[in-house]
Structure 1
Amino acid sequence: MSEQPAALVLNLECTVASPPEATFRLLTDPARLAEWWGPHGFSIPQVDVNLVAGGRYRFRMAPPEGEPFHLSGEFLEIDPPWRLVYTFAWEEPAPDDRETVVDLSLASTGTGTRVALSQGPFLTKERLALHRDGWNESFEKLVLAARGTG
């Protein structure tokens, strides 16, 4: 019997200086999402969110150079202000892309909120690394957006 390779799942955390309720709004309100979503240099000119279980979202992302592209998914679980689970798919995927599930859990730290992210499974280590880099930069921007929202 052969051993199955471990699932390629991304796990990251960041802590922001806003309470869980304000942090959850940053994660779900279209205007607030556009402030922090995406790697440095990217803009989010369009955010559509239907924040109900089974509802969909769609983001238009514009890189510093090149054509805009889209990502979308479906909300699977919404438990304000503690948990948000949704699918994630590029609308014009690369051959090694596949739909993943993003699970965001929030916990009060007393002075802010710890945001724990799990996303996967990915098809390749390269796709996991691409998302890790994107989420790390997005989380840097989220920390800045959370200042003053408490």
Structure 2
Amino acid sequence: MSTETEFVITRVFDAPRELVFKVWTEAAHMERWWGPKGLALSVAKLEFRPGGMFHYIMRTPDGHEMWGRFVFREIAAPERIVFVNSFSDAEGGITAPPFEDPWPSEILNTVTLAEEADGRTMLTLVSAPVNATDEEVRVFKEGFASMDEGYGGTFDQLAAYLAQV
């Protein structure tokens, strides 16, 4: 995958790397910060190991539900997590995204955590479509601004959560 099809976002958190890594590894933590602002998240399953799955449901205030999943490919504590993210059904199978545009069914994500001065952590997330059609790649690239806003909100929630734990 070329870098022109990769979405990249970086954020520095006022928390040590081990803590930032930990809140990606346990269901009770993920329920508190993962996902878009305003949605409630419940974890159906979290098997934090290569080949394991994080399966979750997000609910809007008006009751709309969307399932999602990660399948972990690589875990190198505490600096790297690689997973494929997809929309899913209640059983954990991959489903089509809940929007009209042809969005890729699978997105490869690499989260890298780097120690900064004064106990801070720089998180870099790199995302790219997997097994996508040219049209899906085009739509993915056109979605960078929306993804920047969405991950920005998710990472705002992560920052607030890290300040509490």
Q: Report how many residues are paired.
A: 145
15, 20, 26: which one aligns with 1:18: 15
1:107 correspondence with 2:104: no
Secondary structure of 1:24's aligned partner: helix
Report the equivalent of 1:31.
28
**Alpha-carbon distance between aligned partners in 1 of 2:163 and 2:18, rounded to the nearest angstrom:** 14
Mapped pair 1:93 → 2:93: no
Q: Distance in 1 between matches of 2:142 and 2:41?
A: 24
Q: Return the TM-score normalized by structure 2.
A: 0.79
- Which one scores higher on RCO, CA 8 angstroms, separation ≥ 6? 1
Change (3 A) 1:142 1:78: same
Structure 2, unmatched stretches of 5+, are 89-94, 130-135
Structure 1 unaligned runs (5+)?
none
- Percent identity of paired positions between Structure 1 and Structure 2: 23
CA RMSD of aligned residues (A): 1.9
Q: CA deviation at 1:47?
A: 4.5
In the other structure, the counterpart of 1:139 is 155
- The whole-number CA distance in structure 2 between the counterparts of 1:127 and 1:110 is 33
Amino acid at match of 2:14: A
- Contact between 2:43 and 2:54, CA under 8 Å: does it hold in 1? no
CA contact (8 A) 1:34 1:47 kept: no
The C-alpha deviation readout for 1:107-150, integer Å capped at 9, x for no partner, is: 1112211111101136213444443322110011111111144x
Judged with a 3 Å threshold, the aligned counterparts in structure 2 of structure 1 residues 126 and 90 are, in CA distance, closer, same or farther, namely farther
Q: SS state of the match for residue 38, structure 1?
A: coil
Shift of 1:18: 1.2
Give distance in 1, aligned partners of 2:70 and 2:36.
19
